[in-house]
């Protein structure tokens, strides 16, 4: 993953942010929408693209665009920085390979403990039987 190339490929657009805020919110476009074309990116290898397409399937549009928004701040520039950081965190997380689980051997004491509880339980059930 080449960050510099990806940064050049990002498309930002500013939109009016929703919610309360008085007259100021109706005049200023502070919400930032980021569009990233995952499949046509030169900053990602083919293997990375396939992994990202699989892991981010729910976040991709029908055209294969990754669309992220940020309206946390009142400043458009701050929202632009926040959405860019959000994108790279998302890409990093999606590219991480999960640790493979190794099977572990049960300890001798755990096996003995299990057998003891089984014996106790069987003994309790035997005591419940009627005598002849």
Give the side-chain half-sphere CA count within 13 A for 81: 5
Provide the residue range defining the domain that includes 46: 3-95
- Total domains present in the chain: 1
Give the pLDDT mean for 50-77. Answer: 85
CATH number at residue 57: 3.30.160.20
Q: Is the pTM of this model over 0.85?
A: no
Decide: residue 52, CB within 10 A, 0-12 exposed, 13-18 middle, 19+ buried. buried
In a domain, 88, yes or no: yes
In a domain, 60, yes or no: yes
Instruction: Please provide the average confidence, as pLDDT, over all residues in the chain.
Output: 86
In a domain, 111, yes or no: no
């Amino acid at each position: 993953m080449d960050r510099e190339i990806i940064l050049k490929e990002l498309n930002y657009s500013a939109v009016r942010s929703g919610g309360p805020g008085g007259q100021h919110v109706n005049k200023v476009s502070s919400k930032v929408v980021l569009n990233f074309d995952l499949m046509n990116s030169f900053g990602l290898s083919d293997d990375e693209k396939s992994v990202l397409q699989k892991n981010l399937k729910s976040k991709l549009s029908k055209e294969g665009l990754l669309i992220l928004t940020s309206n946390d701040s009142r400043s458009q520039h701050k929202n632009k920085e926040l959405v860019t950081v959000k994108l790279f965190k998302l890409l990093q997380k999606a590219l991480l390979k999960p640790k493979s689980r190794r099977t572990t051997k049960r300890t001798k004491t755990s096996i003995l403990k299990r057998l003891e509880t089984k014996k106790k339980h069987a003994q309790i059930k035997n005591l419940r039987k009627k005598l002849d």
